[in-house]
Amino acid sequence: MKDLLKLKTSISEEIENILNAQVKVEAHSSAIYLAMSAWCDDQGLDNAADFFAKQSDEERAHMLKIFNYISARGGRSISPEVSNVPVDFESFRGVFEQALAQEMFVTEQFNKIADRCMANKDFVTFNFLQWFLAEQVEEEYVCRRILELFDVIGEEGTGKWEIDRHLVKVKFAGE
């Protein structure tokens, strides 16, 4: 029976499990960014609301990319349950600080997955992860540059709206 299962899948149970866990991380990130978008919209920060809505879409696309990869390798993808998504945030800057912390957490998760792939000699999945690891460099960079706007412009007076106006100009240096 085990030999038949081996023919069905070319991914180990351990790698399948950690990839499904990452599917959940990506789904949770998508939900958090959607909540941030709603909060920014409520604050009248239209560009930030659009930024986080796009981030939410991007995280969902990442989730689906991993979800489909598991299936393509003969594994069983699991649709994640998402809970504990905040709806209120302390401040405009705090939203971007939380976004950076989330991206750093995601980077750490991908590094752990890559480590397990190397230990399991799953070079196919390790290769698949390279796109995500490069993407995380961009995600963290953009959050850091936006946070610099808070340091340069400040939030006093019309500062929040100036930051909101300028954040759309922040691009990854590697583009």
- pLDDT tens, residue by residue, 85-118: 989 999 999 999 999 999 999 999 999 999 999 9
Selected residue with higher pLDDT from 4 and 79: 79
Q: Could you tell me which CATH number the domain at 2-169 has?
A: 1.20.1260.10
Tell me what pLDDT residue 168 has. Answer: 83
pLDDT at 55: 96
pLDDT of residue 172: 72
pLDDT for res 157: 84
Tell me what pLDDT residue 2 has.
53
Note whether 97 and 20 are within 8 A (CB): no
* pLDDT class of 175 with cuts at 50, 70, 90: low
Q: What is the pLDDT of residue 6?
A: 53
Q: Are 59 and 33 in contact (CB under 8 A)?
A: yes
- Over range 149-159, report the average pLDDT: 89
Residue range 46-51: mean pLDDT, rounded: 96
Burial 15-39 (b: 16+ CB within 10 A, else e): bbbbbbebbbbbbbbbbbbbbbbeb
Mean pLDDT computed over 7-36 = 92
Terminal C-alpha separation, the chain: 49
pTM, two decimals, is 0.90
pLDDT range class, residue 78, cuts 50, 70, 90: very high
Q: What are 19's two structure tokens?
A: 């990839």
Q: What is the pLDDT of residue 7?
A: 58
